[in-house]
A and B are shown apart, each in its own frame.
Chain A
Amino acid sequence: NAGVMQNPRHLVRRRGQEARLRCSPMKGHSHVYWYRQLPEEGLKFMVYLQKENIIDESGMPKERFSAEFPKEGPSILRIQQVVRGDSAAYFCASSPPAIPDGYTFGSGTRLTVV
């Protein structure tokens, strides 16, 4: 049990559809981070959020991608009008306000665009 819950584990979307990926952070963690892992590539930072705030979105593509972390409920990474190149594993991590233990990662959502 990773403590950070991501769902769904696998998501298949046709080109042009929307993908919604959810992440519930570990209990007591108020910071959420989204990463994308493309086949044969490393982990690429996308966005860092706190409750109701986007802290750093420097890794987010300018179009079609958005993220939120509402006051209540999970963080959502939303990809509109998906394309084949969006196929990847998307990992969410969470941390408490201080960093000493690093991040705790979820099991990821594997998005396949057909």
Chain B
Amino acid sequence: AQSVSQHNHHVILSEAASLELGCNYSYGGTVNLFWYVQYPGQHLQLLLKYFSGDPLVKGIKGFEAEFIKSKFSFNLRKPSVQWSDTAEYFCAVNAGNAGNMLTFGGGTRLMVKP
């Protein structure tokens, strides 16, 4: 069974700092990759997704993620964070043999200090 690891459980940054959140998965075949964000007290919302093509994917609110197949990674980045980016971020993987199933990482809580 596939697994998804998010190594940073808590990240604290000051506004304008750059952000990179790690995501690694265990499946060796074709994958579809997602990042979701959960603002305090709200539901999960899709930030960006990768299916094929350009491994650098741009999402909403200035976020991007890079798929590096050789490293089984799909790290999330943002050049300059804002206080409003304070949220929990979840990486998710849909493996090619898993039908519609998404496997989620444990999440990373980001706090941005004003």
Contact = CB atoms under 8 A, between A and B. Distances in A.
Interface of A: 2, 31, 33, 35, 41-43, 45, 48, 55-56, 91, 93, 95, 97-108
Q: How large is the interface on B (under 10, 10 to 19, 20 to 34, 35 or more residues)?
A: 20 to 34
Contact of B42 (A41, A48, A55, A107): A107
A45 B106 contact: no
Interface stretch (B17-25, B44-52, B66-74, B77-85): B44-52
Contact of A31 (B43, B44, B92, B100): B100
Given A91-B43, A102-B92, A107-B42, A42 B106 contact: yes
Contact of B49 (A45, A95, A97, A101): A101
Contacts, number: 56
Given A42-B106, A48-B101, A102 B90 contact: no
A35 B101 CA distance: 12
B90 A43 contact: yes
A11 to B, nearest CB: 16
Given A31-B100, A102-B94, 16 more contacts: A42-B104, A42-B105, A45-B101, A45-B104, A48-B100, A99-B32, A99-B94, A100-B49, A102-B49, A102-B92, A102-B102, A103-B46, A105-B44, A105-B45, A107-B42, A108-B43
